[in-house]
Amino acid sequence: MNPLAINLRHLAKRDLELVGSLAAAEMDLEGLDPLIDSTGRVFYQLTVAKMQDSLHVTGHWAFGITCQCVRCLKSFRLELGCPALLLELPLSGEEALAIEGDFVDLTPHLREEIVLAFPQHPLCGPGCRGLDFPAPQGNELQPGSESAETSSAWAVLDKLKLND
């Protein structure tokens, strides 16, 4: 049974504490981005309380991923997490949780929070300069030695005579 599936009848008596971890595969987190290796475990500590027509989920989660830098292509480790998770999940209405019997699965909602924390363009550091290319050799232009005609992308436009 999924550890994030909770029985709503248990919430009528008291709040529930959920502490544990799930493999990334169990949360369908693997293979979402070619630059991110998300094969570890998600650690969570959640408190679930039933309000009038919703579930109130608080707590935190942590998940370590290995990323590939978009500038230099080096691998680096990144720790994701949410130290103050707060979810309000409705039990009725258009956005209502899917209830199967007396059970509600919180996995898709925790998964969404984790996916939103993934970096859009992973960088190994703010000062990453990208790939190191070898210095030009032979007849290739050296930095600062461009001709006057090619020194600017606007050089061709400067030659135009629009008003005679």
Amino acid identity, position 147: S
- Residues 86-100: tens digit of each pLDDT: 999 998 888 888 888
pLDDT of residue 117: 92
**pLDDT tens track for 34-47:** 888 888 899 999 99
Of all residues in the chain, what percent carry a pLDDT higher than 70? 87
Give the span between the Cα atoms of 131 and 55, in whole angstroms: 48
* DSSP tally for the chain: helices H, then strands E: 3, 8
Between CA 12 and CA 29 the distance in angstroms is 32
Region of poorest pLDDT, from 3-7, 127-131, 140-144: 140-144
